[in-house]
Amino acid sequence: MTENSTRLRDGRGREVSYLRLSVTDRCNLACMYCRPRDRVPFIPHRNILRYEEMLDLVSLGRELGIAKLRLTGGEPFARRDLMVFIESILGRYPELDLRITTNATMLAGKPALLAELGVSAINISCDTLDREKYARVTGGDHLAAVRRAIDESLAAGLRVKVNAVALRGINTDEIANFVRLAASAPLDVRFIEFMPMGDGNLWKPENYITAKDVLALAQRMADLVPDRNVHDTGGPAKMYRIAGGLGRFGVISPLSEHFCDTCNRLRITADGKLRTCLFSEREFRLRPLLRNPKLGLPMVRRVIAMALRDKPLGYEVLDPGAAPESRDMSAIGG
């Protein structure tokens, strides 16, 4: 970022330096907390942003002070030529902190090249370490491929975070296993509170457990010491070093202990809609602007600035007691 870059700030004075960009809404899994299995309303291909358009948005983001980019989905590796797109981004902006969130079912065989290209970290969604339970939660028998991808990512020198949605009565009995995983390898395990997002994601209050309660269960298994290392970038996770272990265990609490006051992110969906808050239903259409030669990036810049003026506090717009009828997480990008 140059000295002449214009840093983004919202109407509450929060600096925005993090962009989550969904490259596709398609996914080979149907996780119970993400999207229904009986209907898969994927976005028509013509409405998905082209890689060239996404690269233009990344370029604009760098001009505006975006320092951290996360590629999400759906499942990002479900989109053809993703590796070429990653190479294009880092070839143009090698200093960019580029990370990927993936279910890792298609990741094996790629970590070495990702590390060579300059990818900073891989976030791997894995809610259970039990094969049969994994198939029930996700709709697919892919746990072996995920574990292989984790091992390859560590061997390639990538920073690895394993994210698990905390599902009371489903995977909370496995917290000890996740603590052991983090103790045995130099990676982060993070449990995220189940969020009432999407129409039909099976969110129920009885399946919800607070991050505080998850942490209490983990502390029965190991001595956890609060920690923040040099790779942490002020994100929402509360991380703990495992005494005598190689990795860390942490929790993320979007509902019970919100972190809206320090939110520094924007989201762009695969169909080119800007969301300034995960929990807000308000979206700003960027795709028509990008495809209009008379408008283009200058108008996109203006829309982003306008949208940021009213960037809300998520906890003020979310009712944690009921799951709203909204876009599935696979369409938003998480």
Give residue-wise pLDDT tens across range 35-85: 666 666 789 999 999 999 999 999 999 999 999 999 999 999 999 999 999
Q: Which of 100, 68, 90, 104 is nearest to 235 (CA)?
A: 68
Looking at residue 22, its pLDDT comes to 98
Element at 306 (helix H, strand E): helix 296-309
136's CB contacts (< 8 A; 6+ apart) are: none
| Region label for 13, one of left (φ > 0), alpha (ψ between -120 and 50) or beta (otherwise) | left
Superfamily, domain 8-161+262-332: Aldolase class I (3.20.20.70)
pLDDT in tens, 270-326: 999 999 998 888 999 999 999 999 999 999 999 999 999 999 876 566 655 444 445
Global pTM value = 0.92
Q: Which residue has the higher pLDDT, 166 or 259?
A: 166
Domain ranges of the chain: 8-161+262-332
182's CB contacts (< 8 A; 6+ apart) are: 162, 188, 189, 242, 245, 246, 247, 248, 249
Backbone φ and ψ of 143, nearest 5°: -60, -40
Instruction: Give the residue ranges of DSSP H helices in 39-171.
Output: 51-63, 82-92, 111-117, 131-138, 143-155
